[in-house]
Amino acid sequence: MEKKVCKEHVEIALDIIVDETGEYPLLEELSTSGQVTCEFCDADATYVVSSKK
């Protein structure tokens, strides 16, 4: 599971991953910034928040 989010929505994505997986999430900066939009708004996604792989 992963969420691509802007800076404003990082905390929400972190909470969702923890609630759904029960594990500490991974936070990575997107290298394709500007090409992907946030899952919660129309801003450019800056981070990928994901469960451990």
Q: What is the pLDDT of residues 7-38, one digit of tens each?
A: 999 999 999 999 999 999 999 999 875 689 99
What pLDDT is recorded for position 19? Answer: 96
> What phi and psi values does residue 8 have, to the nearest 5 degrees?
-70, -30
User: Which distant-in-sequence residues (6+ apart) come within 8 Å of 53 by Cβ?
Assistant: 26
Domain boundaries, the chain: 2-50
What pLDDT is recorded for position 53? Answer: 59
What pLDDT is recorded for position 32? Answer: 72
The pTM for the full model equals 0.85
